[in-house]
Chain A
């Protein structure tokens, strides 16, 4: 196993519930406790509730490998990174890192607004573990990379946010570590420095950048392997508030039996990407022949606003009405729903009579996919993308001869 540069062995981290509030007690409270229950002392009572942010996490990374860590918010990703960065200590377990480590949990750590760009390069560089000599040697390259050379002696509080981020990235880009620990926010920072454009986990980036990955779920690693299958597993199983619906029992009447989210290949997913079509797979039963029966869906925002509805009538074809079990597959086209959380309502009705209604049947999250629609914005406002046409032309009063310019949004 000489080839593994990171070896993590049954790493666990326990936090007290309400950690901050409780740990940061005022002396008076601590003394009060001391008076009330002298035996329990300041050490923290056994009644303190604890939870494991990480539990028995093990994996290895060999030289040259890029490992992605995938999981929902609160699954333990940050805790794992903080332990490996030596910011916080594990409660149990052990990790070994062989090589020069650089850890980037944010850009511009230690930047001070009053200091000039030059001073901040040195301060930030040494925070990240570089020596002064090393920064001296790389300084020109860092400044060139950041493109802020004219302002390098200006206090960074006068920088635009773009300049600030570019300078911070430039320092990070010149670290030359053997092991690099990076938080997701930085993983998407490309030449455009689009730091803010993808606040959420970008699955496409993980699949593109990482050769392998581990999935974190409630502090444990239920799945690991190549990045494509780990991301697939994540999208399948880690949605918020149930991306699938199962009827508890059959009532003997017309009834919705199940709802599943699938990709176009029929594989179950939890979180569709905004840039790929996905399928709502509805299973229902008609216990007796019922001509004119329709099935409808409604997509709702989390606060219950109906964004759009659709039903079997939309396709103008008559749906079978014989008694039996049916499966309706509704394909939602790509680039319609923007990244957000949604509820899905499902209704089976006949001539205005509601036979079965679930509002919502499932809840799901659409993740932002790699698309020009998202570049340059933290989150695109609204819920649906409408491919509007734009015509921009010079005001007729100014210049009659000018050609109208047509700008059309492309996808």
Chain B
């Protein structure tokens, strides 16, 4: 038994249980030990999500694509919203692609703990893996939808700029933000199920407060700095700049990145604060 057990001598494992015990070092060691669980949780989310659907993984594409069509018709064609000199469908899809990811990652993250209520009372594992896997599994949809972007651009005789490589760090930034907001909402949702009802509404308002389907240039210059405190504002502008090869507002992106870290910190703080009550309350 001893030689099969991993990690060497048994004495290495010492678990101390006391009220309010929070040691970051222990929590991180735990996270590392359970990293395979993160992989299998994410894989489960992915393989279960489109089971018993006719269109299957096509849904990952249809969501941003159909939203883009709707906005192109109403905002692009009818309301003639400016689109920074790019065909409106390309412009809108470039905003909707990261937004759809953000929105679904946050929504899934917010519901994740309550959806796993049964597990919380039956087994120990780092609880953060649940919202984390929700964020990660949504990332796969994002990657699939990103491929369609190329098709849409080719249709309009355009081609992604070399800066598109920036999509990777930008996706990471979006994921961190979604994780922070998702963790915050998930922890609150355990205690106040209102979150479940408020989240879709919150995401809708947030979308219109963000230059997803309209250009950030519509926002008066004097409000810009404040505007970028909404991290998604700077992030989505940067997505557009990267793919279209237009200049990136680095200052705005910096403010948005800093705000992202604040959101993430708040999410982690709230989650750790409520972590120990999850099993008692959920």
Residues of A at the B interface (CB closer than 8 Å) are: 15, 19-20, 23-28, 30, 82-101, 103, 105-106, 109-110, 112, 114-115, 119, 122-123, 126-132, 134, 176, 178
When each residue 6-49 of chain B gets 1 if its CB lies under 8 Å from chain A and 0 otherwise, what string results? 11001101111111110000000000011011011101100110
Interface centre among B5, B15, B276, B281 (most CB of A within 10 A): B15
Q: When the two chains form the complex, which single residue of B18, B123, B276 contacts A93, counting CB atoms closer than 8 Å?
A: B18
Return B260 CB to nearest CB of chain A, in Å.
26
In the complex, B172 has a CB within 8 A of chain A: no
Contacts known (A100-B5, A103-B123); A25 close to B192, Cβ less than 8 A: yes
How many A-B Cβ pairs are below 8 Å?
133
Pair A176/B5 contact, Cβ less than 8 Å: yes
Pair B15/A122 contact, Cβ less than 8 Å: no
Determine the distance from Cα of A24 to Cα of B1 in the docked complex, in whole angstroms.
Answer: 43
Mark the stretch among B55-63, B114-122, B173-181 that contacts chain A: B114-122
In the complex, B280 has a CB within 8 A of chain A: yes
Return A99 CB to nearest CB of chain B, in Å.
5
Contacts known (A26-B193, A30-B192, A96-B17); A103 close to B280, Cβ less than 8 A: no
In the complex, B224 has a CB within 8 A of chain A: no
Determine the distance from Cα of A30 to Cα of B125 in the docked complex, in whole angstroms.
Answer: 30
Pair B123/A105 contact, Cβ less than 8 Å: yes
Determine the distance from Cα of A123 to Cα of B42 in the docked complex, in whole angstroms.
Answer: 10
Q: When the two chains form the complex, which single residue of A30, A115, A126 contacts B34, counting CB atoms closer than 8 Å?
A: A126
Pair A112/B44 contact, Cβ less than 8 Å: yes
- By a CB distance below 8 angstroms, the chain B residues around A24 are 191, 193, 281-282
7 closest Cβ contacts across the A-B interface?
Answer: A126-B37, A27-B194, A132-B36, A86-B124, A95-B17, A89-B276, A97-B15
In this complex, what residue of B is CB-closest to A6?
Answer: B15
- By a CB distance below 8 angstroms, the chain B residues around A176 are 1, 4-5
- By a CB distance below 8 angstroms, the chain A residues around B18 are 90, 93-95
Return A258 CB to nearest CB of chain B, in Å.
43
Determine the distance from Cα of A246 to Cα of B44 in the docked complex, in whole angstroms.
Answer: 61
- By a CB distance below 8 angstroms, the chain A residues around B128 are none
Contacts known (A15-B280, A93-B18, A110-B123); A123 close to B192, Cβ less than 8 A: no
In the complex, B268 has a CB within 8 A of chain A: no
Return A174 CB to nearest CB of chain B, in Å.
10
In the complex, B279 has a CB within 8 A of chain A: yes
With contacts A85-B124, A103-B123 known, what are 20 further pairs, Cβ within 8 A?
A: A25-B192, A27-B192, A28-B194, A89-B19, A90-B18, A93-B18, A94-B16, A97-B13, A109-B119, A109-B122, A112-B48, A115-B48, A119-B40, A119-B43, A123-B41, A126-B37, A126-B40, A127-B37, A127-B123, A131-B36
Query: Can you list 16 A-B pairs with a CB-CB distance of less than 8 A?
Result: A25-B191, A27-B194, A87-B122, A88-B279, A89-B17, A94-B16, A103-B123, A103-B124, A105-B123, A122-B40, A127-B125, A131-B6, A132-B39, A176-B1, A176-B4, A178-B1
- By a CB distance below 8 angstroms, the chain B residues around A128 are 123
Pair A23/B191 contact, Cβ less than 8 Å: yes
- By a CB distance below 8 angstroms, the chain B residues around A30 are 192
- By a CB distance below 8 angstroms, the chain B residues around A101 are 13, 15
- By a CB distance below 8 angstroms, the chain A residues around B6 are 131, 134
Determine the distance from Cα of A288 to Cα of B276 in the docked complex, in whole angstroms.
Answer: 68
Pair A129/B17 contact, Cβ less than 8 Å: no
- By a CB distance below 8 angstroms, the chain B residues around A130 are 36
In this complex, what residue of B is CB-closest to A89?
Answer: B276
Contacts known (A115-B48, A129-B33, A178-B1); A100 close to B13, Cβ less than 8 A: yes
Determine the distance from Cα of A112 to Cα of B51 in the docked complex, in whole angstroms.
Answer: 12
- By a CB distance below 8 angstroms, the chain B residues around A95 are 16-18
Interface centre among A115, A126, A130 (most CB of B within 10 A): A126
Determine the distance from Cα of A81 to Cα of B3 in the docked complex, in whole angstroms.
Answer: 27
Pair B122/A106 contact, Cβ less than 8 Å: yes
Return B181 CB to nearest CB of chain A, in Å.
17
Q: When the two chains form the complex, which single residue of B4, B11, B51, B191 contacts A98, counting CB atoms closer than 8 Å?
A: B11
Q: When the two chains form the complex, which single residue of A23, A26, A105, A178 contacts B5, counting CB atoms closer than 8 Å?
A: A178
Determine the distance from Cα of A132 to Cα of B40 in the docked complex, in whole angstroms.
Answer: 9
Pair A99/B10 contact, Cβ less than 8 Å: yes
For window 166-197 of B, CB contacts with A under 8 Å fall at 191-194
Determine the distance from Cα of A123 to Cα of B133 in the docked complex, in whole angstroms.
Answer: 13
- By a CB distance below 8 angstroms, the chain A residues around B7 are 100
Pair A94/B10 contact, Cβ less than 8 Å: no
Determine the distance from Cα of A281 to Cα of B24 in the docked complex, in whole angstroms.
Answer: 61
Q: When the two chains form the complex, which single residue of B15, B192, B280 contacts A88, counting CB atoms closer than 8 Å?
A: B280
Q: When the two chains form the complex, which single residue of A19, A97, A106, A119 contacts B17, counting CB atoms closer than 8 Å?
A: A97
- By a CB distance below 8 angstroms, the chain B residues around A90 are 17-19
In this complex, what residue of B is CB-closest to A24?
Answer: B281
Contacts known (A115-B47, A176-B1); A105 close to B17, Cβ less than 8 A: no
- By a CB distance below 8 angstroms, the chain B residues around A105 are 122-123
Determine the distance from Cα of A84 to Cα of B18 in the docked complex, in whole angstroms.
Answer: 10
Pair B14/A96 contact, Cβ less than 8 Å: yes
- By a CB distance below 8 angstroms, the chain A residues around B279 are 82, 87-88
- By a CB distance below 8 angstroms, the chain A residues around B1 are 176, 178
Interface centre among B43, B125, B276, B282 (most CB of A within 10 A): B125
Pair B123/A88 contact, Cβ less than 8 Å: no
Determine the distance from Cα of A22 to Cα of B225 in the docked complex, in whole angstroms.
Answer: 43
- By a CB distance below 8 angstroms, the chain A residues around B282 are 24
In this complex, what residue of B is CB-closest to A178?
Answer: B10
In this complex, what residue of B is CB-closest to A127?
Answer: B123
Return B44 CB to nearest CB of chain A, in Å.
6
In this complex, what residue of A is CB-closest to B5?
Answer: A100
Interface centre among A91, A92, A115 (most CB of B within 10 A): A115
Return B137 CB to nearest CB of chain A, in Å.
14
Determine the distance from Cα of A93 to Cα of B34 in the docked complex, in whole angstroms.
Answer: 27
- By a CB distance below 8 angstroms, the chain B residues around A88 are 276, 279-280
Determine the distance from Cα of A192 to Cα of B3 in the docked complex, in whole angstroms.
Answer: 30
Determine the distance from Cα of A95 to Cα of B124 in the docked complex, in whole angstroms.
Answer: 16
Return A9 CB to nearest CB of chain B, in Å.
9
